[in-house]
Amino acid sequence: MELQKKHDRIILGIDPGSLNFGYSLIQQDGSQYTLIIKGILHLQSINDQIEKNKKIFEFLDELLRTYLFDEIAIEQPVYGKDAQAMLKLGRVLGCCVGFAVSHKIPITEYLPKNVKKVITGNGNAAKQQVAYFAARILKTPLESKTYDDTDAVAIALCHAFNLSGIPTMSSGRSWSQFIKNNPDRIVK
């Protein structure tokens, strides 16, 4: 007797930060997406970067034990004017990649512009717009003060769309063709 899988996949979305670490888990069942949890791991009180990374690693380990997620999607840092801040962000990213590799979980990086384009249709959308459209996709309110957690939701959704073959900015497929081929997936 074969066990039935209850969902297609659970995706952990990460908006990495050395002060505010945004995270979300979404469950994908076909073309349905459900928010499991979202939040922010606050790291401002930890001064040592190694201790911050340890806290992040332990937090991710606890999430994995609790929710058994299948994939990780993370925002890729682009550039920054402050070299020290970028170094800290790079260490956080390295910690997340190390976690994924050590647990044999696929991890994919997404540029912020690509996430915004996929979720809102505009690669230059404001964080508030990204949160608004992610909430519409999930059919649930997404309130946030800093948008680190709603950005993580958008990153997870972007990954789910990518895995489902929904057109993304870099896929070369058009939205008009997707709509024509998939009228049942259009949110009204």
Choose, from 71, 109, 148, 149, the residue flagged as catalytic.
148
The torsion angle over the Cα atoms of residues 7, 9, 15 and 19, rounded to 10 degrees, is 70
Q: Answer yes or no: 82 catalytic.
A: no
C-alpha to C-alpha distances, 177 to 14, 23, 77, 164, 173, nearest whole angstrom: 30, 32, 31, 15, 7
Amino acid (1-letter code) at residue 49: Q
What is the H or E stretch that residue 148 is in?
helix 148-164
Q: Answer yes or no: 15 catalytic.
A: yes
Q: Answer yes or no: 8 catalytic.
A: no
Choose, from 75, 109, 149, 151, the residue flagged as catalytic.
75
Catalytic machinery residues: 15, 75, 148
